[in-house]
Amino acid sequence: MSVATVHPYPPKTSFNGGDLDCGNGLLLLIRKHIDPLEPGELLEIVSYDSTVEVDLPSWCRLTKNELINMHTEPGVWRFLVSKGPFTPPEETSPPSKPATAAASEAPLQPVQLKHKRKKPQMAITQEVVTPHIPASLPEPADAPAIEPLSVMSLGSWPRPRWMLDALHQHLEDRLDDAAFQADADDAVQLAIAAQERAGIDVVTDGEQRRDNYSSFVGGILQNCQLIPVTDLLPYVDDPEQFNKELQALDVPAGEVRHPAVFGPLGRKNPLTVHEVRYAQSIATKPVKVSLPGPYLLTRTMWMECISDRAYDNREQLATDIVRILREEIAYLLAGGTALVQLDEPVLTEVLYGEQGQGGRTFMCGALGERGAQDEELAFAQKVLEQVTKGFPTDRLALHVCRGNWTTDETSALTGGYEPLVPLFRSVNVGTLVLELCTPRAGELEALAGIRDDQRVGVGVLNQKDSADDTIDDVIARAERAIELFGYERVLLNTDCGFATFADNPIQSARAAERDLGLMAQARDHLRAKYTH
């Protein structure tokens, strides 16, 4: 049945945002309604807040959704927005005059907020679900040992074009979960087959089900919603600077999604256990998995005016993030995962990042503002210690790099590991998986103070710039690490993943397979040399 409308074209759907403004939850409601639409379909947004008349057109320009019409009545604004560009239907002739208010739906009553504050607060009327907390956690199961000089896939792998299409449709609720998982299974088969052809020792599923390495959890956790980074503009302290940083990214900011927390976080469904389970069912090698670390997630999720609906401060948020990660790790280890890697690249942002050169949009994801360096490192160390406490040390790893969203080396951070050694020593991880090939990472000798029981996954290839590298280059880099740490403590990997962000792979799948193959050849040479 067609819907009468005050606009030149009928909307596919309509919702009433009441007196919410763009900085007070309206954008989250818009995202909830516009995502399931097909490109070119129309959404009507009804608002009773006058500021939306200015802010909504700006949001449309930034997100490349087309504002088709704006109709004003006394105290009411009705916006007609197309998801992406709009092509008028050929058989429809727009009326010469907009319909009157009487021709539209019955007058809508304003939605009144229960509380108004000088500082905008999240005020969407979304149901807050009681977090699921398991009564007990399972014990670790046995897993294959990772031998010295093993070559490991760091995590991400380039997605096929059809997988990217499926990923975006799934994020926008236009592809059901069963169809998405079937497509993802096919993509994982391709990723693991390439890794095994290259001859490496420890494989991953290539993170094929994720839109990026960290914020994907926002689409799984209870009381959390994934929104494009562009939708955060009204929430930041300096929108103009934030917009400049977004425009400078190689990744389209509208394709990078950010978790918005609107209630107490819970883990009703696994974050990555299903990824590992499927990878184990088809792989002939041990499987590792990467999880975003607790400091990274806290910095990413804690955004003023969003998070403080559920948490008074980020320390409270971190408590739930620690609990959720411990639940996930327990189930991963119980399922025989060979290695669980916590990704904490933002640690280098604490040390070396500056606004506009990493800063809030480091790694192409919005991050809450950081405090003083010493305070941030102490906080990061505390939450990492809490997450890892009590688990088998040799089954846990920590990854640190300096950014992996562009092949432009001048855009990534520069600085050595020495300030992080105390943190490395204190955290219950047996392997440090580190960016070490690029000169930006400083000298290998800076790691001399790590614990004797810690192995080093040495970045022996810079995946951003490896086309001219040879097996001799890889061998030389690995031998420097062997001289410093000893043969038994060295593992081999690239500096970072091949496609940290799904829409912006650093390399092609063919080039990635070549890199892994070079490392496997170097491993064979070194094992022959050091075991005879």
> How do the domains of the chain map onto residue ranges?
13-85, 161-530
pLDDT of residue 381: 98
Please determine, for residue 438, whether its predicted confidence score (pLDDT) is greater than 80.
Answer: yes
Please determine, for residue 164, whether its predicted confidence score (pLDDT) is greater than 90.
Answer: yes
Q: Which two tokens stand for residue 363?
A: 């790694």
Average pLDDT over residues 356-373: 57
Q: Contact, 94 vs 8, CB < 8 A?
A: yes
Average pLDDT over residues 360-381: 74
Average pLDDT over residues 403-415: 81
Give the residue with greater pLDDT, 176 vs 63: 176
Give the residue with greater pLDDT, 132 vs 359: 132
Please determine, for residue 12, whether its predicted confidence score (pLDDT) is greater than 80.
Answer: yes
Directed axis angle between helix 177-198 and helix 161-171, to 10°? 150
Among the listed ranges 98-112, 236-250, 305-319, which one has the minimum average pLDDT value?
Answer: 98-112
Q: What are phi and psi of 265, to 5 degrees?
A: -75, 145
Among the listed ranges 344-348, 464-468, 525-529, which one has the minimum average pLDDT value?
Answer: 464-468
pLDDT confidence bin for 98, thresholds 50/70/90 = very low
Please determine, for residue 92, whether its predicted confidence score (pLDDT) is greater than 80.
Answer: no
Please determine, for residue 111, whether its predicted confidence score (pLDDT) is greater than 50.
Answer: no
- Write out the H or E segment, with its range, that includes residue 27: helix 27-34
pLDDT of residue 245: 66
pTM across the whole model: 0.84
Q: Which amino acid is at 479?
A: E
pLDDT confidence bin for 399, thresholds 50/70/90 = very high
The CATH number given to 161-530 is 3.20.20.210
Q: Contact, 200 vs 151, CB < 8 A?
A: yes
pLDDT of residue 353: 81
Q: Which two tokens stand for residue 491?
A: 């593992």
Directed axis angle between helix 373-388 and helix 294-301, to 10°? 120
pLDDT of residue 127: 61
Give the residue with greater pLDDT, 96 vs 92: 92
Cα gap 441→403, rounded to integer Å: 11
The tens digit of pLDDT for each residue in 171-218 reads 888 999 999 999 999 999 999 999 999 999 999 999 999 999 988 999
pLDDT of residue 119: 37
DSSP state of 370: P
DSSP state of 116: -
Cβ-in-10-Å burial (0-12, 13-18, 19+) of 51 comes to middle
The tens digit of pLDDT for each residue in 497-521 reads 999 989 889 999 999 999 999 999 9
pLDDT of residue 304: 60
Give the residue with greater pLDDT, 333 vs 125: 333
The tens digit of pLDDT for each residue in 285-295 reads 999 999 999 99
The tens digit of pLDDT for each residue in 22-32 reads 766 788 889 88
Average pLDDT over residues 463-469: 91
Give the residue with greater pLDDT, 373 vs 25: 373
- Write out the H or E segment, with its range, that includes residue 477: helix 471-485
pLDDT of residue 332: 98
pLDDT of residue 117: 30
Q: Whose CA is closest to 153, among 479, 459, 415, 421? A: 459
pLDDT of residue 302: 83
First vs last C-alpha separation in the chain = 79
The tens digit of pLDDT for each residue in 252-293 reads 666 678 888 888 999 999 999 999 999 999 999 999 999 999
Q: Which amino acid is at 293?
A: G
Cα gap 288→205, rounded to integer Å: 8
Q: What percent of the chain has pLDDT over 70?
A: 83
Q: Whose CA is closest to 415, among 350, 460, 348, 359? A: 348
pLDDT of residue 451: 98
pLDDT confidence bin for 99, thresholds 50/70/90 = very low
- Write out the H or E segment, with its range, that includes residue 42: strand 42-47
Give the residue with greater pLDDT, 97 vs 309: 309
The CATH number given to 13-85 is 3.30.110.40
pLDDT of residue 129: 81
pLDDT of residue 79: 96
Mean pLDDT of the chain: 86
Give the residue with greater pLDDT, 51 vs 365: 51
